[in-house]
Amino acid sequence: MTAAENLDPDESLWNAIAFHLRYERQKRGMSQTEVGNIIGVNKHGVSNAEAGRNKVTSAQAARLDKAWDTGGLFLRLRRFARLSHNPDWPARVDRYQRDSDQLKIFYNSFVPLPFQTEDYARGLLSAGHSAGLIDDLEAALLRRMAHQAAILERRPQPPLIWAVLDEAALRPMGGPAVMKAQFEHLIHCSRLPHVSLRIVPLTAAPHIGIDGWFWFFELPGRRLAAFAGTTLDVGRVIDDPAEAVSVAIRFDRLAAQALNEDQTRDLLLRMAEDL
């Protein structure tokens, strides 16, 4: 069976959209190339949409509804899917993090994955372990550090990373030795040629990053996506290019309130010395 045939439309609204795209196409006896002419992609783009690998955009949904006189089915499904929780978000976000040519990252509560030391990551994961959410702490730590290496050390060229952290994200997640090493590691990462690291000082609050952290991805072929997450293991992947751009704009507005790169290193150095 193909990936499209294996897709379960009851698993998520995005799967339902992919299922109905294939169902409506076959009902009309149309080829993937013919549907591609309607939504502006080639047959491979339609195949990926039917398999759930690519998400139908709002513009494509509107074209399908008009061409097939669906009564707004695809736009309606897409509107609800966009607002819903994505149960498969961890795997998709991991893939986007590994594959992106460029990343824009904002965090307001802790140091994000690309820049965590092993001891800092162990401290974060231990909270989940104590709560019974992580069975094997050391196995989870190994997976996290391997994923970090896959982002930062990707060959032949790592992604360009723009990171902005709220100063509140630098709060202790371990003892003085753990945090001193973490601050020194942030300074090291900030000097990498493909990394820009900046901190929004506490004096800038309130700002538009107070309500949560997010990632913006520029994937191969200049495909744009984003992710907004919470601490409750809930996340929303944003595949609509226009909405993803709005996330990038939010990042740029936060960056405008941040210290510059040299000021950020000075702050981190002072924090490390204080420990």
Q: With contact defined as beta carbons under 8 Å apart, do 209 and 106 qualify?
A: yes
Q: What is the pTM of this model?
A: 0.75
Q: What is the CA radius of gyration of the chain?
A: 21
Taking the C-alpha atoms of residue 241 and residue 224, their distance in angstroms, rounded to an integer, is 5
Domain regions of the chain by residue span: 3-83, 89-274
Fold of 3-83: 434 Repressor (Amino-terminal Domain) (1.10.260)
What pLDDT tens digit does each residue of the chain (275 aa) get? 677 777 788 777 888 899 999 999 999 999 999 999 999 999 999 999 999 888 898 899 999 999 999 999 999 999 888 776 666 677 888 989 999 999 999 999 999 999 999 999 999 999 888 888 888 999 999 999 999 999 988 878 899 999 999 999 999 999 999 999 999 999 999 999 999 999 999 999 999 998 889 999 999 988 899 998 765 556 778 877 888 999 999 999 999 999 999 999 999 999 999 98
Query: Smallest Cα–Cα separation from 172: which of 263, 109, 266?
Result: 109
Q: How many CB atoms lie within 10 A of CB 166?
A: 25
Q: CATH topology for 89-274?
A: Endonuclease; Chain A (3.30.870)
SS3 string of the chain? CCHHHHCCCCCCHHHHHHHHHHHHHHHCCCCHHHHHHHHCCCHHHHHHHHCCCCCCCHHHHHHHHHHHCCCCHHHHHHHHHHHCCCCCHHHHHHHHHHHCCEEEEEECCCCCHHHCCHHHHHHHHHHHHHCCCCCCHHHHHHHHHHHHHHHHCCCCCCCEEEEEEEHHHHCCCCCHHHHHHHHHHHHHHHCCCCEEEEEECHHHCCCCCCCCEEEEEEEHHHEEEEEEECCCCCEEEECCHHHHHHHHHHHHHHHCCCCCHHHHHHHHHHHHHHC
